[in-house]
Amino acid sequence: MVTPGLVQADPELERGLLELLLTDHGAAGPYEGYRWLQSRAPRLRTGAGLVVLSGYRDCEAALRDRALGKADESLGFALAAVPEELRRRAMRRFRRTMLFRNPPDHGRLRRLVSQVFTPRHVEELRASVVLRVEELLDGWVGRESVDAISELALPLPVGVIGDLLGVPESDRAMAAPWVRELVAPLEPGADATAVAAAAAAEDQLADYFTALLADKRARPGEDLLSRLAHARGADVLDDDETVGTAILLFAAGFETTTNLVGNGLSALLAAPAQRARLAAETDPAKLGLAVEELLRFDAPVQTNGRTALADTRIGDLEIHAGQVVLMLLGAGNRDPAVFSDPDRLDLTRREGPPLSFGGGLHFCLGAPLARLEAAEVFPRLLTRFPELAPAGDANWRRGLSFRGLATLPLHPGPVRTQNRKDSRYLS
């Protein structure tokens, strides 16, 4: 019997899905492809048994369903032939972190660090985030052109998470390219070369963090890595989990936030009225809404995966134990059943939270920190450089799961001298 709304193994749909997952989408993004899939098969089961969800409510239900957990799904989307042994080796430690674990291990690993990322604790970081934003923007003053990615979107979150973890400033730039290689296998189109590079990058990151954690254990500080080193000493987690967690926190702390800043800025530059609204906004609640809309409009993380640990249902869709579910979060974020005129950027929208941080057990640990960084960076940037304008074409990264810019060249233009009304943290 065919489940209503579920389209199984249709060759045309499968070709369309492959194109959506494997094509470089560039500035326009994958949104037209999402709309095509959503209108034809919001619940698609491929011939190979992969369930692909593109509706908001289905994605949300799947994210919260405790029967849908973590197994090998992160390596299961791989549409290119990758030797099994290589897959196992890639992300060997990374896959032992909370990101890929189920209860009770998920909770054991998450509780170790969760307090540091709660809204209350993150609020204490606001002043240092503001300072970093202003310092980076100082570097733009008087310049003909800048790259908003390498001169703001990347160094801001790397600086914030580096401080939080206790990664020495001089090491941060070195570790960043390894992170890019490490997470590449999470792309549906990852091939054997990408997976091999990920395995090598993880080894390098592991060597680095093993040495750093030993140092923290000998000379503990107030930072998160010292906390992890202490927990390792108390046998709360094993060596691979400890190193994997250090890598995860560092990686998740910037790859995504960089793209929130870059994608958001790109969207704002294309929507002058919305940009003007945000530049003038001083109400924290409205700023918060604006950040949610930027998260929705062009999310840094476009996909998420689960494996059915037991039989379950999403609406009328039956999912059997062992089946892999791919959620197209970026498609759910543009679902017309939930968001009116979904392709329009509307910073005052109040139609429900975006799926961009995932949901359920694995809801983004760093969400409060990402929101805070975004809420501080956009208004400060737009107010300080009122004539900010593109300086040539932006260069989008390849891949679907992590959507972001490689470079975003901008003319900063003249500086506005008058201070913002809410310059609370600046004397």
Other C-beta atoms closer than 10 Å to the C-beta of 71 total 16
Strands 317-319 and 312-314: antiparallel
Cβ distance to other proteins smaller for residue 88 or 111: 111
Specify which residues 312 forms β-bridges with: 319
Q: Choose the binding region for other proteins from 334-342, 355-363, 392-400, 418-426 (rule: CB under 8 A).
A: 355-363
Best CA proximity match to 356, nearest among 330, 334, 377: 330
Cβ distance to other proteins smaller for residue 230 or 397: 230
238-273 burial: b if 16+ Cβ within 10 Å, else e: eeebbbbbbbbbbbbbbbbbbbbbbbbbbbbbebee
Q: Tell me, what amino acid is at 10?
A: D
Q: How far is CA 201 from CA 29, 174, 352, in A?
A: 28, 12, 38
The upper half-sphere exposure of residue 227, i.e. CA atoms within 13 Å in the direction of its Cβ, equals 17
Q: Which residues contact 124 (CB under 8 A, 6 or more apart)?
A: none
Residue 111 interacting with other proteins (CB under 8 A) = yes
- Minimum Å gap between C-beta 388 and other proteins is 32
Residue 363 interacting with other proteins (CB under 8 A) = yes
Residue 100 interacting with other proteins (CB under 8 A) = no
Specify which residues 410 forms β-bridges with: 146, 390
Q: How far is CA 352 from CA 57, 261, 383, in A?
A: 11, 21, 28
Q: How many residues bind other proteins (CB under 8 A)?
A: 21
Pick one of 360, 390, 409, 413: the residue that binds other proteins (CB under 8 A): 360
Considering only residues 195 to 224 of the shown chain, the ones binding other proteins according to CB under 8 A are none
- Minimum Å gap between C-beta 234 and other proteins is 13
Residue 350 interacting with other proteins (CB under 8 A) = no
Cβ distance to other proteins smaller for residue 107 or 390: 107
Residue 113 interacting with other proteins (CB under 8 A) = yes
Give helix then strand counts, H and E, for the chain: 17, 13
- Minimum Å gap between C-beta 245 and other proteins is 13
Q: Tell me, what amino acid is at 197?
A: A
Specify which residues 407 forms β-bridges with: 395
Pick one of 107, 315, 336, 413: the residue that binds other proteins (CB under 8 A): 107
Residue 359 interacting with other proteins (CB under 8 A) = yes
Cβ distance to other proteins smaller for residue 105 or 318: 105
Q: Which residues contact 340 (CB under 8 A, 6 or more apart)?
A: 351
Interaction pattern, residues 42-81, with other proteins; x per rule: CB under 8 A: ----------------------x-----------------
Residue 106 interacting with other proteins (CB under 8 A) = yes
Here the tokens at position 109 are 């690993």
- Minimum Å gap between C-beta 119 and other proteins is 5
Q: If DSSP codes are grouped into helix, strand and coil, which group holds residue 96? A: helix
Q: Choose the binding region for other proteins from 98-106, 154-162, 335-343, 404-412 (rule: CB under 8 A).
A: 98-106
Task: Compute φ and ψ for 304, nearest 5 degrees.
Answer: -150, 150
Cβ distance to other proteins smaller for residue 23 or 118: 118
Cβ distance to other proteins smaller for residue 334 or 362: 362
Pick one of 119, 177, 322, 392: the residue that binds other proteins (CB under 8 A): 119
Pick one of 361, 372, 381, 405: the residue that binds other proteins (CB under 8 A): 361
CB-CB contact of 356 with 259 (8 Å): no
Cα-based angle 373, 162, 289 (whole degrees, multiple of 5): 15
Pick one of 9, 32, 49, 118: the residue that binds other proteins (CB under 8 A): 118
- Minimum Å gap between C-beta 360 and other proteins is 5
Considering only residues 366 to 425 of the shown chain, the ones binding other proteins according to CB under 8 A are 368
Residue 115 interacting with other proteins (CB under 8 A) = yes
Residue 112 interacting with other proteins (CB under 8 A) = yes
Residue 114 interacting with other proteins (CB under 8 A) = yes
Task: Compute φ and ψ for 312, nearest 5 degrees.
Answer: -155, 180
Interface residues with other proteins (CB under 8 A) are 64, 103-104, 106-107, 110-115, 117-120, 359-361, 363, 365, 368
